[in-house]
Amino acid sequence: MTTQVRPDPAAQAAPAAANPPMGAQLSAALPEWWPVLAGLAALFLPTMFSLFTGAWVGEEQAHGPMIFALALWLAWRKWPGVLAQPAAPSWLGWPLLTVGLALHLLGRSQHILMFEIGSIILVLAAIVLAKLGAPALRVLWFPFFFMLFMVPLPSEFVAAVTMPMKMAVSWATEHLLFAAGYPIARSGVILQIGQYQLLVADACAGLQTLLTLEALGLFYLNLMRHPSAFRNIGLAILIIPISFSANVIRVITLTLVTYYLGDAAGQGFLHGFAGMVLFLTALVLILAVDSSLQWYVARRRGGDR
């Protein structure tokens, strides 16, 4: 004689009750968080309006909206992990909040973009620390670190680093096209191909482009979460030559477009298309290098066995 044990409906419902959906958790937390959200909106909506109608429209800071959107998406993706941490509000959040508000006031009043954007990161981190504690901040460390890539660097530093990069990209473009048989010459960062002259601008081979591609690579690493430290560190370092190669390919593309289709095509729609070529090239190179590192790690592990 066999006895069938029927599952207890209350026991089955317990895990669901212990882990309610994200929407239900947000609705339950809304009464506590709406003053904070209202304060953030009053503080930063004018800043966002200024950025979307000013700095983020130009080529040099055009990566800002992408970085900010990806950082918010990463924070949303990690939010269940934040809710799983025990709430441990820390008093350290309040002095950090004071520094962030002072930085925002200084940046907003004196039009210092680096301070104004940097204050967004400090204020958000301070709120997480003051409301939820250090464990929650540890879960969200990468989104906050990722937002650092949207903070503009001092113009003097950017200019000092960008010029050698432009010289190197111009040199590589000249030698590659000359080896391919094109009538090209170079004077500094000015390329002469046929009857056309092209100036390699900061947006084509500058520090901001390097930082944007580095952010793209780190975002890819965070999504993949490789267990191999060698693979993660190797790809993070190799993103620098990947960025250089992508910049060279972009300048070569613009040069050839100008040579075959004229100056108007090179400076018009196809110039923006060359920017897409830059990021697609960088993405393909990142995937290729990552696959090569994966093959190397797998081969080394096989050899160890």
The residues annotated as belonging to the active site are 204, 250
Residue 152's SS3 state is coil
Listed in sequence order, the residues at least 6 apart from 3 whose beta carbon sits closer than 8 Å to its beta carbon are none
214 in Cβ contact with 239 (< 8 Å): yes
Burial of 212 from C-beta contacts in 10 A (0-12 / 13-18 / 19+): buried
- Of 168, 158, 173, which is closest to residue 250 (Cα–Cα)? 173
Q: Please, what sign has the CA dihedral across residues 149, 155, 161, 165?
A: positive
131 in Cβ contact with 36 (< 8 Å): yes
**49: phi then psi, degrees, rounded to nearest 5:** -65, -45
| Four-point Cα dihedral 79, 222, 113, 248, nearest 10 | -160
142 in Cβ contact with 73 (< 8 Å): no
| Helix, strand, coil in percent for the chain, rounding step 5 | 80, 5, 15
CA–CA dist 142, 126 (Å, integer): 15
CA–CA dist 141, 164 (Å, integer): 33
